[in-house]
């Protein structure tokens, strides 16, 4: 039995992994789908102090308090920033890192540094609430931005997406245990439609190592292609 911790991206919550988590549990694995502070069912929290470091602590603390070991730590989109920083804090508890169409940062980078114009394009459509700048505002058309077109999935998503503090995307990673961190095996599951936004050298290396899966779907592949995502994760668990 493997232990998976599935970390969502910006504006989402642990809810977005329902389909994949259900399949992994049916296969006999332990699965955790934490929601990061300030989002989804935790959106009622005071947002003024929430940044990238908050989210790193959310995940690192889960691994510590649940006493999880040899974790397959999966991050989607912005969640790639989170799993990298969280793993740096608890390298002894992480067995594999999986970047699910996700940011692949190095020390000192922010999501803005990694994703550039893609994430910056969201800022003009944001708002400020109680002094906190928020982006990725929810609405009935928001699922389309994540590549979700199925009417049932879109309706389900639209009622669950929440705004995200912009600060999280500008905060830079401050890694302290890089020697141990970069020894953790890394795997990549990417969407064919977003390949052009990824580092080609990184993907070429991953492909040569047999650690890359391409899925022809939109960005929220855990919703649109749960069978394919689950199959890739099971292969990674067996590696």
The mean pLDDT of 121-126, rounded to a whole number, is 94
Average pLDDT, stretch 159-166? 98
Across the chain, mean pLDDT equals 96
The set of residues, in sequence order, having a beta carbon less than 8 Å from that of 84 and lying 6+ positions away, is 75, 97, 104, 105, 173, 175, 181
Residue 193: per-residue pLDDT? 79
- Domain 3-238, CATH: 3.40.50.1820
pLDDT at 152: 98
> In this predicted model, what pLDDT tens digit does every residue of 36-83 receive, in sequence order?
999 999 999 999 999 999 999 999 999 999 999 999 999 999 999 999
Q: What are the structure tokens assigned to 12, written together?
A: 């989402």
Closest Cα to residue 90, out of 111, 54, 65? 65
Residue 196's pLDDT is 63
Domain definitions of the chain by residue range: 3-238
Predicted confidence band of residue 194 (pLDDT cuts 50, 70, 90): confident
Strands 71-76 and 94-100: parallel
Q: What percent of the chain has pLDDT over 90?
A: 93
Question: Residue 219 above 90 pLDDT?
Answer: yes
**pLDDT value at residue 25:** 99
Question: What is the chain's alpha carbon radius of gyration, rounded to the nearest angstrom?
Answer: 16
Once rounded to an integer, what is the mean pLDDT over residues 114-119? 89
């Amino acid at each position: 039995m493997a232990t998976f911790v599935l970390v969502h991206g910006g504006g989402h919550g642990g809810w977005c992994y329902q389909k994949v988590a259900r399949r992994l549990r049916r296969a006999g694995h332990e699965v955790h789908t934490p929601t990061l502070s300030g989002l989804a069912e935790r959106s009622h929290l005071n947002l003024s102090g929430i940044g990238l470091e908050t989210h790193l602590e959310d995940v690192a603390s889960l691994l510590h308090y649940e006493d999880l070991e040899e974790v397959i730590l999966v991050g989607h989109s912005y969640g790639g920033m989170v799993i990298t920083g969280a793993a740096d804090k608890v390298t002894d508890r992480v067995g594999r890192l999986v970047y699910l169409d996700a940011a692949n940062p190095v020390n000192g980078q922010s999501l803005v540094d990694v994703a550039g114009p893609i994430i910056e394009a969201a800022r003009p459509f944001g708002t400020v609430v109680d002094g906190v700048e928020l982006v990725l505002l929810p609405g009935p058309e928001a699922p389309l931005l994540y590549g979700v077109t199925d009417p049932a999935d879109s309706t389900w998503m639209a009622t669950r997406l929440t705004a995200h503090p912009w600060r999280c995307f500008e905060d830079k990673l401050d890694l302290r245990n890089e020697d141990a961190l970069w020894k953790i095996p890394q795997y990549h599951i990417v969407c064919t439609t977003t390949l052009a936004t990824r580092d080609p050298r990184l993907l070429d290396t991953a492909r040569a190592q047999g650690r890359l899966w391409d899925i022809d779907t939109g960005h929220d592949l855990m919703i649109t292609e749960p069978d394919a995502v689950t199959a890739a994760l099971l292969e990674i668990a067996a590696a």
